[in-house]
Homo-oligomer: A and B are copies of this chain.
Amino acid sequence: MPLMLERDSLRDGRPVYRQIADHFLAEIGCGRLVTGARLPAIRDLARSLEVNRDTVALAYDALANAGAVESTVGRGTFVRGSAIAPGAAADLGPPDLSPMTENLLELERARPRFGSAVDAIPMHSLVPDPALYPADSFRKVLSRVLQEVGPELLLYGGPQGFPRLREVLAERLREVEIDVGAEDIVLCHGASQGIHLATRLFAEAGDTVAIEEPTYNNVLAVMRGLGLKTLPVPMRDDGLDLDALEHALARPEVKLLYAIPTFHNPTGITTALAHRHRLLEIVARHRKPVLEDAYEMDLRISGRAVPSLAALDTAGLVVHLFSFSKSLFPGARVGAISARGRIVDALVAQKQATDLSDSMLLQAALAEFVADGSYDRHLRKLRRVLRERRDALLSALEREMPGGVRWTRPDGGYQVWVELPEGLDTGELLADAVGVGVLFAPGFQFNHDGRASNRLRLTYAMADSEPLRRGVEALARLVRERLERGPRRLARVHI
């Protein structure tokens, strides 16, 4: 297994030396490096990885401390006898981590790393383009509210979140027929915390959450981090498979459905109104709550708006999740959960027990930014750019992709789902793509069991039209090459 380094440890979450150490621990753990095997000389490895020698030395020290290797001056560093069995490193020194946490770490190890490709075309990213952030006007609002309100804005906020922001958001939600007031909204630290909080209301370790498959990959991490099982319900071209949903929700251990009915991640599919009604009938019959992730609700760029599940819900079973992360910028870390009655009370209690409150300063600034029309002005500009990028991407796919390749045509959001002919493993394709400076999100990431997939997600969040065209060209070339070699059966499981 080649060692791919993520130099931006901000991105990887691990310092470089740790990535190196973990690489060798994995190689030893899975038996690719056996007892007595010699590790590369520090000098050589440093040169080949283009890192500082101290970094490699640090990594080897960490391995030695973990009992995985031993160094003999002048001779080198060798894998130790009674070499580390998988996971055995955990039995040395540090206290045991909970099974739940080990389980999460295992998933983390399977995340594809895009590090080596620095100036590659980022069609893998669902992070909105910073070039489009209204950073300067937000900076001014931020400074103004802090000056006007004063130090009180730096106190703890209430666990439910800054009232003014809840008011302006409730107003926006009512405009799309979601019948809520400020008192029905709980603000959270990004939509990801919203998923975390809402899930914990209904499910606890050992329980199961029904998810769409494919689904937002980080949700799989969230569920593992909570010790929850996931039960996949297949996504069809027109939305969730309702027969499968019926069976899933009938199971008593299934406590919740997590769904993205509009601009679904990763497929970009928006389910039709009739389909939503049938979904809600099933949900109501089983009286199971639905967490509706509407993280891209403000990003429609074509077609007619479809009412959200929350707008259609009469049974009080839908918990609705909004976020500023994709439509403005992620850095505010502000999402909003809308629900009813005791669910709101429970969300407030869990929010308080989790981190007391969010930053009132950021929430107050956002409230101003929305109330004075800046947010809507930004959305109009953003939607124009997205429309152009989406059209550039779709026409490039039309022009470049060989027969047998299918893809979705989203009416909003950032993502297009591409299906390659049977037998092509997009996890393997990614390695080629990284080589030619093109990044995409391989399908296995979005499967609950990480099984290989012939699908991949392309986004137009970070890349502009011209790079998108070049990226699709390069990708199509790789696909044709693979097809000429002839398809193979998919076997590999990545997690």
Q: Please report A residues at the B interface, Cβ cutoff 8 Å.
A: 8-15, 17-18, 22, 62, 65-66, 89-91, 93-101, 104-105, 108, 127, 130-131, 133, 135-136, 138-139, 142-143, 146-147, 150-160, 162-163, 183, 189-190, 192-193, 196, 200-207, 218, 221-222, 224-225, 227, 255, 287-289, 315-317, 325, 329-333, 340-343, 345-346, 348-350, 352-362
Contacts of A10 in B (CB 8 A): 157-158, 160, 162-163, 345, 348-349
- Contact present for B139 and A143 (CB under 8 Å): yes
- Contact present for B151 and A135 (CB under 8 Å): yes
Q: How many copies of the chain does the oligomer comprise?
A: 2
Q: How far does the Cβ of A66 sit from chain B's closest Cβ, in whole Å?
A: 8
**A93 to B, closest residue via Cβ:** B316
- Contact present for A359 and B345 (CB under 8 Å): no
**A106 to B, closest residue via Cβ:** B349
Q: List 28 A-B contacts (CB under 8 A).
A: A9-B160, A10-B160, A10-B162, A13-B349, A15-B342, A18-B341, A62-B341, A89-B342, A90-B342, A97-B201, A97-B343, A97-B346, A98-B207, A101-B201, A135-B146, A153-B331, A154-B331, A154-B332, A156-B330, A156-B331, A157-B331, A190-B357, A196-B355, A218-B353, A225-B349, A225-B354, A333-B359, A362-B362
9 new A-B contacts, CB < 8 A, other than A18-B183, A97-B201, A130-B151, are A13-B346, A13-B349, A14-B348, A15-B341, A89-B342, A90-B342, A101-B202, A138-B154, A192-B356
A99 to B203 alpha-carbon distance, docked (Å)? 9
The 7 closest A-B pairs by CB, nearest first: A154-B331, A225-B353, A10-B158, A193-B355, A130-B151, A154-B329, A133-B151
Contacts of A221 in B (CB 8 A): 349, 352-353
A91 to B66 alpha-carbon distance, docked (Å)? 54
> Chain A: interface secondary structure?
helix
Q: How far does the Cβ of A419 sit from chain B's closest Cβ, in whole Å?
A: 28
Contacts of A150 in B (CB 8 A): 130, 135
Q: How far does the Cβ of A249 sit from chain B's closest Cβ, in whole Å?
A: 11
Do A131 and B151 form a contact, CB below 8 Å, given A15-B183, A18-B341? yes
- Contact present for B127 and A93 (CB under 8 Å): no
**A188 to B, closest residue via Cβ:** B355
- Contact present for B355 and A192 (CB under 8 Å): yes
**A152 to B, closest residue via Cβ:** B130
A203 to B227 alpha-carbon distance, docked (Å)? 11
**A330 to B, closest residue via Cβ:** B156
- Contact present for B155 and A348 (CB under 8 Å): no
Contacts of A200 in B (CB 8 A): 98, 100-101, 225
Contacts of A8 in B (CB 8 A): 158
**A89 to B, closest residue via Cβ:** B342
**A18 to B, closest residue via Cβ:** B341
Most B C-beta atoms less than 10 A away, residue of A146, A163, A203, A361? A361
Contacts of A316 in B (CB 8 A): 93-94
Contacts of A331 in B (CB 8 A): 153-157, 359-361
A222 to B99 alpha-carbon distance, docked (Å)? 20
- Contact present for A151 and B329 (CB under 8 Å): yes
A329 to B359 alpha-carbon distance, docked (Å)? 11
Q: How far does the Cβ of A11 sit from chain B's closest Cβ, in whole Å?
A: 6
